[in-house]
Amino acid sequence: MYNFRTDLALERRELLGRLEKSGENLDGIEVEEKEVNDKIKVSRVKITNESGENLIGKPKGSYITIDVKKLKIATEEEIENAANILSEELKKLVDIHIKSMEDVLVVGLGNEYITPDSLGPKVIANIEITRHVIKYLPEYVEEGTRPISAISPGVLGTTGIETQEVLEGIVEKVKPKLIIVIDALASRSIERISSTIQLSDTGIVPGAGVREYKKRAKHKHFRSSSCSNWYTNSC
């Protein structure tokens, strides 16, 4: 495994390109890229075996990267278009793992008081929560609405509780079929900051960004992240 300072599977694959040119076989790594329009590009990296894991330093699974050029100065229409693409890609991943009406828990990792690490809590503040409404006021809910709950567990430095411990307690009581985890991540390129999203179905280890490696949760969950050039998964 090569030591990369990036959380993006796509960037890790790009760095391996020089090995491929030298004739080395990059077995277990598949790449597909699609230009949606002149502003948006969707790339898919699939790690299929142990050889691919060792080369790229990430577990087997699918990694989808959505790059949006000049997102910081994008028009409302361009932002909405990017959001629709993200929604479609996330829905495809979710549909692979659970049925249409099963419960989803959305978790926003990070420290809301530190800008580069505040993505998770900020997203949670804008999630439409439906679980309690479906339970107590079902007559006011549109038919076909999925039960959604959400939590921003904070970080060890402000709560004194490991994120893993908080989530294990919530999962035990709520029993969601799927957990969607949102966190900031690290990129090698400053151009990707606030303009790149990575989706994956391989899970996340809270605290890995500050070398506080924890056990991986037993429940399946996704990682949906925007880029930060500081650190990742600081819990």
Q: How far apart are CA 81 and CA 144, in angstroms?
A: 24
pLDDT at 230 over 70: no
pLDDT at 219: 41
pLDDT at 11 over 80: yes
pLDDT at 205: 64
**Residue 179 near residue 220, CB atoms below 8 Å:** yes
Q: How far apart are CA 42 and CA 33, in angstroms?
A: 6
Residues near 14 by Cβ (< 8 Å), separated by ≥ 6? Answer: none
Phi, psi of 86 (to 5 degrees): -60, -45
pLDDT at 233 over 70: no
pLDDT at 62 over 60: yes
pLDDT at 49: 95
Question: Vertex 122, ends 121 and 128: CA angle to 5°?
Answer: 95
**Residue 47 near residue 28, CB atoms below 8 Å:** yes
User: Mean pLDDT over residues 212-226, rounded?
Assistant: 45
Mind listing the pLDDT tens digit for each residue in 152-205?
999 998 999 999 899 999 999 999 999 999 999 889 888 888 899 999 999 886
pLDDT at 224: 45
Band of pLDDT at residue 208, cut at 50, 70 and 90: low
Q: Which domains does the chain have, with CATH numbers?
A: 9-228 (3.40.50.1450)
